[in-house]
Protein backbone atom coordinates (compact mmCIF):
# COMPACT_ATOMS: atom_id res chain seq x y z
CA UNK A 1 0.00 0.00 0.00
CA UNK A 2 1.37 3.41 -0.97
CA UNK A 3 1.30 6.37 1.36
CA UNK A 4 0.46 9.78 -0.07
CA UNK A 5 1.84 12.99 1.32
CA UNK A 6 1.18 16.51 0.10
CA UNK A 7 2.25 20.05 0.96
CA UNK A 8 1.93 23.59 -0.32
CA UNK A 9 5.16 25.13 -1.59
CA UNK A 10 6.28 28.14 0.45
CA UNK A 11 8.61 31.03 -0.32
CA UNK A 12 11.65 28.92 0.51
CA UNK A 13 10.61 26.41 -2.18
CA UNK A 14 10.15 29.00 -4.94
CA UNK A 15 12.72 28.91 -7.74
CA UNK A 16 14.10 25.60 -6.50
CA UNK A 17 14.17 22.47 -8.66
CA UNK A 18 11.47 19.95 -7.80
CA UNK A 19 13.98 17.38 -6.53
CA UNK A 20 15.51 20.03 -4.25
CA UNK A 21 12.06 20.91 -2.90
CA UNK A 22 11.32 17.27 -2.10
CA UNK A 23 14.58 16.92 -0.16
CA UNK A 24 13.72 20.06 1.77
CA UNK A 25 10.12 19.16 2.55
CA UNK A 26 9.80 15.36 2.71
CA UNK A 27 11.39 15.05 6.12
CA UNK A 28 9.65 11.87 7.33
CA UNK A 29 11.57 9.64 4.94
CA UNK A 30 14.78 8.11 6.28
CA UNK A 31 17.95 9.18 4.43
CA UNK A 32 16.06 11.40 2.01
CA UNK A 33 18.24 12.42 -0.95
CA UNK A 34 18.03 14.04 -4.37
CA UNK A 35 18.67 10.63 -5.97
CA UNK A 36 15.61 9.23 -4.20
CA UNK A 37 13.53 12.26 -5.21
CA UNK A 38 14.63 11.92 -8.83
CA UNK A 39 13.64 8.24 -8.84
CA UNK A 40 10.15 9.12 -7.60
CA UNK A 41 9.75 11.80 -10.26
CA UNK A 42 10.99 9.49 -13.04
CA UNK A 43 8.56 6.84 -11.80
CA UNK A 44 5.57 9.17 -12.07
CA UNK A 45 5.00 9.33 -8.31
CA UNK A 46 5.11 13.13 -7.96
CA UNK A 47 2.47 15.62 -9.07
CA UNK A 48 2.48 19.42 -8.97
CA UNK A 49 -0.95 21.11 -8.94
CA UNK A 50 -2.52 17.81 -9.95
CA UNK A 51 -0.26 17.25 -12.99
CA UNK A 52 2.34 14.49 -12.97
CA UNK A 53 5.83 16.01 -12.87
CA UNK A 54 7.79 15.21 -16.02
CA UNK A 55 11.28 16.30 -14.94
CA UNK A 56 13.32 16.75 -11.77
CA UNK A 57 14.56 20.09 -13.06
CA UNK A 58 11.15 21.77 -13.19
CA UNK A 59 11.02 24.77 -10.84
CA UNK A 60 8.31 25.02 -8.21
CA UNK A 61 6.39 28.24 -7.63
CA UNK A 62 5.18 29.47 -4.26
CA UNK A 63 1.66 28.22 -3.49
CA UNK A 64 1.92 25.11 -5.68
CA UNK A 65 0.44 21.89 -4.27
CA UNK A 66 2.91 19.01 -4.40
CA UNK A 67 1.76 15.40 -3.91
CA UNK A 68 4.00 12.36 -3.56
CA UNK A 69 2.84 8.72 -3.62
CA UNK A 70 5.53 7.07 -1.55
CA UNK A 71 6.35 3.48 -2.53
CA UNK A 72 5.31 0.92 0.09
CA UNK A 73 8.97 -0.02 0.64
CA UNK A 74 10.02 3.54 1.56
CA UNK A 75 11.77 3.50 4.97
CA UNK A 76 10.21 6.10 7.26
CA UNK A 77 12.09 7.98 9.94
CA UNK A 78 11.13 7.06 13.47
CA UNK A 79 9.23 9.71 15.40
CA UNK A 80 11.45 11.71 17.81
CA UNK A 81 11.30 10.34 21.34
CA UNK A 82 11.16 12.33 24.61
CA UNK A 83 14.50 12.53 26.41
CA UNK A 84 15.23 14.02 29.82
CA UNK A 85 17.76 16.67 28.83
CA UNK A 86 18.50 20.17 30.15
CA UNK A 87 16.65 23.08 28.55
CA UNK A 88 17.23 26.81 29.00
CA UNK A 89 13.64 28.04 28.59
CA UNK A 90 13.28 31.75 27.78
CA UNK A 91 9.49 31.78 27.44
CA UNK A 92 6.67 29.24 27.56
CA UNK A 93 2.88 29.26 27.35
CA UNK A 94 0.17 27.02 25.88
CA UNK A 95 1.00 28.07 22.32
CA UNK A 96 4.78 28.26 22.04
CA UNK A 97 8.07 27.70 23.80
CA UNK A 98 11.34 29.57 23.25
CA UNK A 99 14.70 27.96 24.07
CA UNK A 100 18.19 29.41 24.44
CA UNK A 101 20.14 26.70 22.61
CA UNK A 102 23.81 26.21 23.47
CA UNK A 103 26.36 25.65 20.73
CA UNK A 104 27.07 21.99 19.97
CA UNK A 105 23.42 20.87 20.22
CA UNK A 106 21.33 19.88 17.18
CA UNK A 107 17.81 21.32 16.97
CA UNK A 108 15.97 18.40 15.33
CA UNK A 109 16.76 14.66 15.00
CA UNK A 110 18.22 13.47 11.70
CA UNK A 111 19.79 10.23 10.51
CA UNK A 112 23.14 11.59 11.74
CA UNK A 113 21.75 12.78 15.10
CA UNK A 114 18.87 10.58 16.17
CA UNK A 115 18.79 11.75 19.78
CA UNK A 116 20.06 14.39 22.17
CA UNK A 117 18.42 17.26 20.29
CA UNK A 118 16.40 20.27 21.40
CA UNK A 119 13.22 18.65 20.11
CA UNK A 120 13.84 15.48 22.14
CA UNK A 121 14.19 17.63 25.27
CA UNK A 122 11.04 19.64 24.46
CA UNK A 123 9.05 16.43 24.00
CA UNK A 124 10.15 15.34 27.48
CA UNK A 125 9.10 18.69 28.95
CA UNK A 126 5.68 18.28 27.29
CA UNK A 127 5.28 14.59 28.12
CA UNK A 128 2.10 15.33 30.12
CA UNK A 129 0.55 16.94 27.04
CA UNK A 130 0.32 14.01 24.58
CA UNK A 131 -1.94 15.99 22.25
CA UNK A 132 0.80 18.58 21.54
CA UNK A 133 2.75 18.26 18.29
CA UNK A 134 5.69 20.69 18.52
CA UNK A 135 6.62 22.42 15.28
CA UNK A 136 9.90 24.27 14.78
CA UNK A 137 9.46 27.90 13.84
CA UNK A 138 13.17 28.75 13.76
CA UNK A 139 16.25 26.57 13.30
CA UNK A 140 19.90 27.11 14.10
CA UNK A 141 23.04 25.32 12.96
CA UNK A 142 24.55 22.93 15.48
CA UNK A 143 27.39 25.30 16.32
CA UNK A 144 25.27 28.48 16.45
CA UNK A 145 23.81 29.38 19.83
CA UNK A 146 20.69 31.32 20.74
CA UNK A 147 16.93 31.49 20.35
CA UNK A 148 14.90 28.62 18.93
CA UNK A 149 11.11 29.04 18.87
CA UNK A 150 8.79 26.03 18.76
CA UNK A 151 5.04 26.27 18.18
CA UNK A 152 2.87 23.90 20.22
CA UNK A 153 -0.05 23.63 17.82
CA UNK A 154 -0.56 23.52 14.08
CA UNK A 155 -2.56 26.75 14.25
CA UNK A 156 0.18 28.61 16.12
CA UNK A 157 2.80 27.29 13.71
CA UNK A 158 0.82 28.38 10.66
CA UNK A 159 0.17 31.85 12.11
CA UNK A 160 3.85 32.45 12.89
CA UNK A 161 4.83 31.25 9.43
CA UNK A 162 2.38 33.74 7.92
CA UNK A 163 3.88 36.47 10.10
CA UNK A 164 7.35 35.54 8.90
CA UNK A 165 6.21 35.72 5.28
CA UNK A 166 4.58 39.11 5.91
CA UNK A 167 7.76 40.51 7.48
CA UNK A 168 6.31 40.81 10.97
CA UNK A 169 9.03 38.65 12.59
CA UNK A 170 12.46 40.17 13.25
CA UNK A 171 15.45 37.89 13.89
CA UNK A 172 18.61 39.53 15.21
CA UNK A 173 22.03 37.92 15.62
CA UNK A 174 25.42 38.86 17.04
CA UNK A 175 28.61 37.76 15.28
CA UNK A 176 32.31 38.33 15.74
CA UNK A 177 34.04 38.63 12.36
CA UNK A 178 37.57 39.05 11.06
CA UNK A 179 38.35 42.57 9.89
CA UNK A 180 36.09 45.61 9.99
CA UNK A 181 33.05 45.74 7.69
CA UNK A 182 32.85 48.82 5.47
CA UNK A 183 30.64 50.73 5.54
CA UNK A 184 30.05 50.29 9.27
CA UNK A 185 26.34 49.77 8.61
CA UNK A 186 24.57 48.44 5.56
CA UNK A 187 22.88 45.54 3.80
CA UNK A 188 24.29 42.50 1.99
CA UNK A 189 22.02 41.38 -0.84
CA UNK A 190 23.95 38.59 -2.54
CA UNK A 191 21.73 35.75 -3.90
CA UNK A 192 22.50 32.35 -2.35
CA UNK A 193 22.34 28.76 -3.59
CA UNK A 194 23.82 25.33 -2.89
CA UNK A 195 27.35 24.76 -4.11
CA UNK A 196 27.06 22.36 -7.11
CA UNK A 197 30.36 20.77 -6.05
CA UNK A 198 29.24 20.19 -2.44
CA UNK A 199 25.55 20.29 -1.56
CA UNK A 200 26.38 20.81 2.11
CA UNK A 201 27.81 24.25 1.36
CA UNK A 202 26.01 27.45 0.37
CA UNK A 203 27.58 29.96 -2.02
CA UNK A 204 26.83 33.48 -3.21
CA UNK A 205 25.78 33.26 -6.85
CA UNK A 206 23.67 35.21 -9.32
CA UNK A 207 21.83 31.91 -9.90
CA UNK A 208 20.69 31.78 -6.29
CA UNK A 209 17.64 32.94 -4.36
CA UNK A 210 17.31 36.61 -3.36
CA UNK A 211 18.79 37.08 0.12
CA UNK A 212 19.32 40.06 2.39
CA UNK A 213 21.21 40.54 5.64
CA UNK A 214 21.39 43.92 7.38
CA UNK A 215 24.39 44.56 9.62
CA UNK A 216 25.83 47.15 12.01
CA UNK A 217 29.33 47.21 13.49
CA UNK A 218 29.15 47.61 17.27
CA UNK A 219 32.88 47.70 18.02
CA UNK A 220 36.21 46.80 16.42
CA UNK A 221 39.67 45.92 17.71
CA UNK A 222 42.36 43.24 17.66
CA UNK A 223 41.63 42.65 13.97
CA UNK A 224 38.03 41.68 14.68
CA UNK A 225 34.61 43.29 14.91
CA UNK A 226 31.46 42.71 16.91
CA UNK A 227 28.57 42.92 14.47
CA UNK A 228 24.79 42.88 14.88
CA UNK A 229 22.92 41.26 11.99
CA UNK A 230 19.25 41.18 11.05
CA UNK A 231 17.87 38.47 8.80
CA UNK A 232 15.53 39.93 6.19
CA UNK A 233 15.36 36.58 4.41
CA UNK A 234 16.10 33.26 6.08
CA UNK A 235 18.27 31.17 3.77
CA UNK A 236 20.42 28.29 4.98
CA UNK A 237 23.74 29.56 6.44
CA UNK A 238 22.77 33.04 5.23
CA UNK A 239 24.64 35.22 7.72
CA UNK A 240 27.73 33.02 7.62
CA UNK A 241 27.93 33.08 3.82
CA UNK A 242 27.01 36.74 3.39
CA UNK A 243 29.69 37.90 5.82
CA UNK A 244 32.34 35.55 4.41
CA UNK A 245 31.54 36.49 0.80
CA UNK A 246 31.91 40.17 1.76
CA UNK A 247 35.39 39.56 3.15
CA UNK A 248 34.48 39.37 6.86
CA UNK A 249 34.24 35.66 7.77
CA UNK A 250 32.89 34.77 11.19
CA UNK A 251 35.61 33.89 13.67
CA UNK A 252 35.85 30.12 14.18
CA UNK A 253 33.68 29.20 11.17
CA UNK A 254 35.41 26.06 9.89
CA UNK A 255 33.24 25.89 6.73
CA UNK A 256 33.23 29.48 5.47
CA UNK A 257 36.21 30.87 7.39
CA UNK A 258 38.87 29.18 9.49
CA UNK A 259 39.38 27.68 12.92
CA UNK A 260 40.37 30.02 15.73
CA UNK A 261 42.08 29.14 19.03
CA UNK A 262 39.90 31.61 20.94
CA UNK A 263 36.62 29.77 20.26
CA UNK A 264 35.78 26.20 19.25
CA UNK A 265 32.78 27.04 17.02
CA UNK A 266 31.54 29.84 14.78
CA UNK A 267 31.04 33.04 16.80
CA UNK A 268 27.38 33.49 15.91
CA UNK A 269 24.48 33.87 18.35
CA UNK A 270 20.74 34.39 17.75
CA UNK A 271 20.20 36.94 20.48
CA UNK A 272 16.77 38.47 19.85
CA UNK A 273 13.50 37.67 18.10
CA UNK A 274 10.53 40.04 17.94
CA UNK A 275 7.17 38.71 16.79
CA UNK A 276 3.41 38.97 17.35
CA UNK A 277 2.12 36.26 19.67
CA UNK A 278 0.28 33.76 17.43
CA UNK A 279 -2.91 33.94 19.55
CA UNK A 280 -3.00 37.18 21.57
CA UNK A 281 -1.17 39.13 18.81
CA UNK A 282 0.71 41.11 21.45
CA UNK A 283 4.29 41.96 20.46
CA UNK A 284 6.84 39.61 22.04
CA UNK A 285 10.54 40.41 22.35
CA UNK A 286 12.54 37.30 23.21
CA UNK A 287 16.21 37.69 24.16
CA UNK A 288 19.03 35.25 24.87
CA UNK A 289 22.18 36.69 26.50
CA UNK A 290 25.56 36.10 24.90
CA UNK A 291 27.22 32.88 26.09
CA UNK A 292 30.60 33.06 27.81
CA UNK A 293 32.76 32.22 24.77
CA UNK A 294 31.25 35.05 22.74
CA UNK A 295 31.28 37.50 25.65
CA UNK A 296 35.04 36.98 25.87
CA UNK A 297 35.46 37.78 22.17
CA UNK A 298 33.18 40.81 22.43
CA UNK A 299 35.26 42.19 25.32
CA UNK A 300 38.42 41.82 23.23
CA UNK A 301 36.84 43.78 20.38
CA UNK A 302 35.91 46.55 22.81
CA UNK A 303 39.08 46.67 24.90
CA UNK A 304 41.45 46.71 21.93
CA UNK A 305 39.94 49.87 20.44
CATH code: domain of residue 208: 3.30.2350.10
Q: How far is CA 193 from the centre of its chain?
A: 14
Q: Is the pLDDT of residue 304 over 70?
A: no
The whole domain housing 299 covers: 89-303
Same domain, 32 and 112: no
pTM (two decimals): 0.81
Once rounded to an integer, what is the mean pLDDT over residues 273-278?
A: 97
Residues with active-site annotation:
141
Same domain, 108 and 143: yes
Exposed/middle/buried for residue 4 (C-beta within 10 Å: 0-12, 13-18, 19+) = exposed
Same domain, 153 and 294: yes
Q: Is the pLDDT of residue 30 over 80?
A: no
DSSP class of 55:
-
Measured in Å, how far apart are the chain's first and last C-alpha atoms? Answer: 67
Average pLDDT, the chain: 91
Same domain, 170 and 242: yes
Torsion over CA: 186, 189, 194, 195 (sign): negative
Give the residue, 282 or 222, on which the prediction is more confident.
Answer: 282
| Beta-bridge partner residues of 173 | 229, 270
Same domain, 214 and 179: yes
Q: Is residue 79 part of a domain?
A: no
Quote the CA–CA distance of 161 and 169 in Å, as a whole number.
Answer: 9
Q: Could you give the number of structural domains in the chain?
A: 2
Quote the CA–CA distance of 12 and 235 in Å, as a whole number.
Answer: 8
CATH of the domain at 64: 3.10.290.10
User: Which residue among 70, 105, 121 closes a domain?
Assistant: 70
Q: Is the pLDDT of residue 257 over 70?
A: yes
Quote the CA–CA distance of 232 and 230 in Å, as a whole number.
Answer: 6
Same domain, 248 and 103: yes
User: Which residue among 20, 38, 70 closes a domain?
Assistant: 70
pLDDT at res. 222:
83
3-state SS, residue 131: coil
Same domain, 183 and 297: yes
Would you place residue 197 in the very low, low, confident or very high pLDDT band (cuts 50, 70, 90)?
confident
Distances (CA, A) of 260 to 148, 201, 251, 253, 276: 26, 20, 6, 8, 38
Quote the CA–CA distance of 64 and 37 in Å, as a whole number.
Answer: 17
In this structure, the number of other CB atoms found within 10 A of the CB of residue 286 comes to 19
Amino acid sequence: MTRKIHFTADRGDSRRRLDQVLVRRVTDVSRMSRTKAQEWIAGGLVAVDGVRAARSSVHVHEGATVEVALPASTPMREAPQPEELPLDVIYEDDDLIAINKPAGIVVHPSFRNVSGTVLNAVLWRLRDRPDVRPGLVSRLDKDTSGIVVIALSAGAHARIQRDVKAGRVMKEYVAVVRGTPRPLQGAITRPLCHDPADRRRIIASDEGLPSETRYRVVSSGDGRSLVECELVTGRTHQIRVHLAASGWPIVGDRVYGSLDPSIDRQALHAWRMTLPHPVSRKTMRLEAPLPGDMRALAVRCESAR
